[in-house]
Structure 1
Amino acid sequence: MRERIVRAVAGSIVLLSVVLIYFVSINWIWLTVFVGVNLLQSSFTRFCPLEKILDGFGVPSNNGKCC
């Protein structure tokens, strides 16, 4: 469940930033860069800030179970 939430939030932020880049300012590209860098670092370190936030809300982890 948690992995799906992380992917959905990351994808939503990227799509939102594309809309903001088009309609507001090119400077919103830094939001996309931030999300990309965060995803890349989490693939190496296995640390994701959003997962810590979801821990605080009590969202259960997958525990090795698919979907």
Structure 2
Amino acid sequence: MNIDRAVLMFAGLMVLLSLALGFYVSPYWYLLTAFVGLNLIQASFTGFCPAALIFKKLGCKSGVAFE
């Protein structure tokens, strides 16, 4: 799995998890959904993604968007 796919998978899992927690536990968990969305938007403009750095250190192969 390359870094691009790992970041997309992680973001999708975080959105689904935060939606479930927001529905079943507390609406404040929806803030995590907003944070993930904002992080994806800023990564599209800047090319910087903290999750990509972590996946790179874990040994994922470079992708097109994140090297």
Structure 1 length as normaliser, TM-score? Answer: 0.87
Q: Give structure 2 stretches of 5+ with no counterpart.
A: none
Aligned-residue RMSD, C-alpha: 1.4
Indicate how the Cα distance of structure 1 residues 35 and 63 shifts in structure 2: closer, same or farther if over 3 A, else same.
Answer: closer
Structure 2 length as normaliser, TM-score? Answer: 0.87
Identical columns (%): 45
Which structure has the larger Rg? Answer: 1
Higher relative contact order (Cα pairs below 8 Å, separated by 6+ residues): 2
Q: Give structure 1 stretches of 5+ with no counterpart.
A: none
Counterpart-to-counterpart distance in 2, 1:16 and 1:51: 19
Q: How does 1:53-64 map to 2 (within 5 A)?
A: 53-62=54-63
Count residues with an aligned counterpart: 64
Aligned to 2:23: 22
